[in-house]
Structure 1
């Protein structure tokens, strides 16, 4: 029987980890190697690392850092940030990562998704879709990239369907509006995308408690529940404390 996955999302900036709110105000939360060691002990389902500067700065992935992380990790890993071609994706997979995620590059050139699937296998290709509410009373959604600085005239459902048809093995749905707010997932957005695709999907942005994880998995069945702040902050003053929990 398929089961939901609970996935910590860690944001890389340089050699450190940060956590954002609505894709801004990054706060340093620690060292990635140390975080990986802690999550090893907590036996997490999988771990996603996203370099938030790799694409905006025009640099590629830091393969040396990714190698060090993979060497320490005893859990499945996904990496995203600065991947522009299938060859780079293959290099990351060769380091020991199970999945490689793309976002802006897939929006700029959707055919990249097909090329990656052909090179590393569909199961290793993830497309992360960063979404923000638009219009009167937030009646519609639009896809953004470049740390929410660039708007694309496409809705997330349409883009999710396109990416799965091209060969994406997983869609990560990331709510910009709820990032770091810890007030629950955007379940309406999740339902819209889940109804349109059969591909595995992970939702991230907004989880603040185990109840939020439970609400997502109860509503949508077997699905990936991603979280950042929930697993790196403790208490109302947001003290840094790496933890892990399942619903």
Structure 2
């Protein structure tokens, strides 16, 4: 059997209906604090088609706040069945997003009413769409030696620690994890190596890490740290998002190489 290697997973981050790259820790209800690294002149569909043309599967479309539904639908329609969608997903709209072309739905905030985890809510979503269609976003902030799941644009800490026990519990009800390291998201100052190493120890289902990636070599670093169990998203460092240190073409080539190995 071929060895599993970490690979590049693409993203489309939407804010106010436009593709943007944002410093994750600056997101809040007060727009004046927002730090934006890049605002795209291209449409969401442009990026979805680019990923489709290069066979980059398992990418995520994230709606950062209101006013992004039309943009998200545009991306999904450019590649039906090729992208995951997250941001405000609940049982009332989950089926609708799958019908709009999402391969899977990504959920965070709905699972944490009053910032406390609800297994009942997760099970309700699982019954509605099925485990295989469900991605749980355990994006987190570091507090001492722990990582705590954060919700509502990564501003509010929940009662859930990211660790072996909680991930094992969640795995029974979803098919993938998405993990934004909110403290380093958008800073291009390097990944949270310790978190990636722990994720490699803790997860047994597909897992995508996002936050701080700044060099193509970060793919090999994540591969080594996680034993090939964690995939990596690049954002602000990437040339298609105005970045200077990572070429999209190099990431495409990397994926081709590891998928052929």
* TM-score interval, normalised by the smaller of the two chains: 0.7 to 0.9
Compare the two structures and name the one with the higher strand fraction.
1
Query: Alignment partner for residue 17 of structure 1, among 16, 19, 37?
Result: 19
Q: 1:74, CA displacement in angstroms?
A: 6.4
Q: How does 1:82-231 map to 2 (within 5 A)?
A: 82-85=88-91, 87-108=92-113, 109-135=118-144, 139-157=145-163, 158-165=165-172, 167-220=173-226, 221-231=228-238
The whole-number CA distance in structure 1 between the counterparts of 2:5 and 2:59 is 16
Question: Are 2:39 and 1:28 aligned?
Answer: yes
Deviations 1:111-136 (A, max 9, x none): 2222222222212111111211213x
Q: Counterpart of 2:191 in 1: which secondary structure?
A: coil
Query: Alignment partner for residue 51 of structure 2, among 39, 44, 56?
Result: 39
Q: Counterpart of 2:179 in 1: which secondary structure?
A: strand
Q: Counterpart of 1:202 in 2: which secondary structure?
A: strand
**RMSD over aligned Cα, in angstroms?**
2.5
Change (3 A) 1:107 1:244: farther
Whether the 8 Å contact between 1:39 and 1:244 is mirrored in structure 2 is: no
Whether the 8 Å contact between 1:15 and 1:65 is mirrored in structure 2 is: yes
Q: TM-score, normalised by structure 2?
A: 0.79
Residue of structure 1 in register with 2:259 after alignment: none
Gaps of 5+ in 2: 27-34, 255-261
The whole-number CA distance in structure 1 between the counterparts of 2:179 and 2:147 is 12
Whether the 8 Å contact between 1:12 and 1:50 is mirrored in structure 2 is: yes
Moved over 4 A (4+): 241-244
Change (3 A) 1:40 1:244: farther
Residue of structure 1 in register with 2:75 after alignment: 69
Q: Counterpart of 1:90 in 2: which secondary structure?
A: helix
The whole-number CA distance in structure 1 between the counterparts of 2:153 and 2:73 is 25
The whole-number CA distance in structure 1 between the counterparts of 2:203 and 2:5 is 18
Change (3 A) 1:28 1:110: farther
Deviations 1:59-83 (A, max 9, x none): 8x72x44333222126710000111
Gaps of 5+ in 1: none
Whether the 8 Å contact between 2:196 and 2:225 is mirrored in structure 1 is: no
